Structure 1
Amino acid sequence: MNKSVLVIAAHPDDEVLGCGGAIAKHVREGDVVNVVILAEGLTSREQKRNRELLKMELNELAASARKANEILGVSSLTIGSFPDNRMDGIERLDVIKEIEKYISQFMPDIIYTHYGGDVNIDHRVIYDAVVTACRPVPQYCVKQLLFFETPSSTEWQIPNPSSHFGPNWFVDISGVIDLKKEALSAYASEMRDWPHPRSIRAIEYLAFWRGACIGVETAEAFVLGRNIT
């Protein structure tokens, strides 16, 4: 039976960095994948948030997101307007209610989202909100909850028992790694040169390493939060 998959990410490119291969594989297997990006991106790079000043760049980033997700084959892409890297200033209930809205709309069997130990504050806020929104009440649609690693955020956190990313769920992306790389290339403004961890080369190396961990060519790694069968 085909599944409904919802990816909840903070910023444009996080969805591809974290689970672009899994998205492409779900689509190839006939699952329906919807992507929700909650924050705008870019505006934290200025001293003060000014969407008007960066209107052109934000439009270009949104166009990149549409192109990247079209490459992966997602059914829908939603880009929200929460402030970039300032989501700790939003009341948590407001974030939870926004996420609950999309869960009610798409009725996902599976949710992919950020890992809670990331250095990026928006990732942590979204992690907490998703966990709260996905309380396993009777007859709840979400059966599987997976947290992805985001290069240039997950590994940049100082290791401690509460932040350590210890993957226990892997997806073999050997047949779709080229689609992930193509989708990342659509985010030209967000990608960086090697040896930055958000470079195509670094992300490819990570995929090879995660694959080697489980005896396949390439893989993506996740922390399984919940799995109901």
Structure 2
Amino acid sequence: MPHAVREVALALATRSADGPTLLPGPPEGPVLVLAPHPDDETIGAGGTIARHAARGDEVVVVVATSGEATTGGRIRHGSGRLAAAREAECRAACVDLGVTMAPVFCRLPDGRLGEAVDELAGALAEQGAHASVVYAPTVLDPHRDHRAANAALVRAGLRAEVLGYEVWSPAPVDVLVDVGEVWADKERALRRYATALASVDYVRAAAGLAAYRSASCGLGGVGWAEGFVRLDPATHAELVTRAGLLAWTGDGEPAGPSTDT
């Protein structure tokens, strides 16, 4: 882990000495959800999205790539058929979560999102113009596309608060949302992603993390909770900059490490 990223991790981990706070419910909408790939939105924030939808909040899901670089499934990776299959899975998952608007697919290069940060920023600026809260992977997520997504979010210049969700690494979350009442919806949505589930059991992994998170918020470890790193837009931009996520090289790679998953 580069020194700059360690500094950001330490800054986030020491913000509160009392541990994460259980929110009475999701923040007020309208809501923008940024998913670098089809399934990220459900893995990291599916239960909270379902609670937003049940409350009647407007929810817009922007999917940066179509996940065409996925391996392990029955369809050859990199093919148009695979991209179409993953988009169909995402549409079905969003319906399961109660989202009434169809997801917006940007169809940017999977695994090389750093080459298309400005394009994604433009889409976010358009789709999130009225959002009061944005869900995105945490700034500490090691996946190269997830880091690029955070850079694009900063460049979009939205004024909404950012709730960073967990996908590829646990994070020093400071707020939790009880998703017990909608857990069945999240699990159903996750099972839509048959392509990704062929290589990783995200249903089991998400359940384990949500059960663990419920142990630290008064639910006694017998419920389900999703954790988030909650940042105002200025602090999010500062941490993204400090972590070096805005420093792109000529081939589209960030200055920090990359993860090919």
Q: TM-score range by the shorter chain?
A: 0.7 to 0.9
Deviation at 1:65, TM superposition (A): 0.7
Q: 2:100 maps to which residue?
A: 75
Alpha-carbon separation, structure 2, partners of 1:57 and 1:172: 34
Superposed counterparts of 1:53-92, under 5 Å: 54-76=79-101, 77-90=103-116, 92=117
Q: 2:186 maps to which residue?
A: 180
Deviation at 1:19, TM superposition (A): 0.3
Alpha-carbon separation, structure 1, partners of 2:110 and 2:183: 28
Q: 1:148 maps to which residue?
A: 165
Q: 1:223 maps to which residue?
A: 229
**Alignment partner of 2:138 out of 99, 115, 118:** 115
Q: Aligned to 1:190, what secondary structure does the other structure show?
A: helix
Q: 1:19 maps to which residue?
A: 45
Compared CA separation, residues 56 and 227, structure 1 to 2 (3 A) = closer
Q: 1:126 maps to which residue?
A: 149
Alpha-carbon separation, structure 2, partners of 1:43 and 1:126: 17
Compared CA separation, residues 37 and 149, structure 1 to 2 (3 A) = same
Q: Residues 74-117 of structure 1, C-alpha deviation per residue, up to 9 Å, x if partnerless? A: 12211111100101223x3333222112123xx11111011122
Aligned length: 201
**Conserved? CA contact 2:106–2:120, under 8 Å:** no
Deviation at 1:20, TM superposition (A): 0.2
**Conserved? CA contact 1:192–1:199, under 8 Å:** no
**Conserved? CA contact 1:44–1:85, under 8 Å:** no
**Conserved? CA contact 2:137–2:150, under 8 Å:** yes
Alpha-carbon separation, structure 1, partners of 2:174 and 2:53: 23
Alpha-carbon separation, structure 1, partners of 2:28 and 2:41: 21
**Conserved? CA contact 2:33–2:61, under 8 Å:** yes
Over the aligned positions, Cα root-mean-square deviation in angstroms equals 2.4
Q: Residues 31-69 of structure 1, C-alpha deviation per residue, up to 9 Å, x if partnerless? A: 1211110112123659xxx99x61222211111111110
Does residue 1:101 correspond to 2:126, yes or no?
yes
Compared CA separation, residues 6 and 94, structure 1 to 2 (3 A) = same
Extract unaligned runs of 5+ from structure 2.
Answer: 1-26, 235-261
Q: Aligned to 1:34, what secondary structure does the other structure show?
A: strand
Compared CA separation, residues 8 and 200, structure 1 to 2 (3 A) = same
TM-score normalised by structure 2 residue count: 0.70
Extract unaligned runs of 5+ from structure 1.
Answer: 137-141, 156-164
Q: 2:196 maps to which residue?
A: 190
TM-score normalised by structure 1 residue count: 0.80
